Amino acid sequence: MTYTQTQSASRSSTATEARVREVMKHVFADITGLATRGFTSHESAAKWRDDLTWMLSNEVISSFELQLEAPGQPTRGFHYDVSDDGSLQEAGRSGGMQLYAFPDGTRASIVVSFKRPLPDEIEAEIKARNWTSPAAYLKGEKTRDRAYSCDGYGVIRNRVGDW
């Protein structure tokens, strides 16, 4: 007698446009802090917000990172991991980034990690939004800082680099 066993895994996402927009209010407050300090322009901050909102709503990224390059210092940043399995129930307050520890002349950039493979229409939109430049996440240990969530969907913010 032969026995066979089949297992299947199913996964559902808690991402909805309304939840993404709620979480992005906190992320955008973080990004606005960078613009307020002069680390990026307010126009770039608004584009990052709009593009991240689109990417998260379409569930095409698993994480993103805000990187801060200060003159004469190692690059540090904030790494955001997307949590869409319903387990994240923590709704922290935005801010607390200690941006005044960075000198004038610090430059901010953003890096995203796309889920692959992506449908052709999503790839075309990514290209149209000019998100095709190669970039890399910062190396080093991540330290959990806080999380932003809405009804089980959200992002976990980690500090990365030598803080």
Q: What is the C-alpha to C-alpha distance for residues 159 and 62, in angstroms, rounded to an integer?
A: 17
Alpha-helix runs per DSSP H in 2-153: 17-36, 42-57, 120-128
Q: Between residues 1 and 136, which one has the greater pLDDT?
A: 136
Q: Report helix, strand or coil for 63.
A: strand
Q: What is the pLDDT of residues 47-68, one digit of tens each?
A: 999 999 999 999 999 999 999 9
Nearest C-alpha neighbor of 99 from the set 70, 56, 121: 70
What is the predicted pLDDT for the residue at 11? 58
> Is this model's pTM higher than 0.75 or not?
yes
Structure-block tokens of residue 152? 């089980």
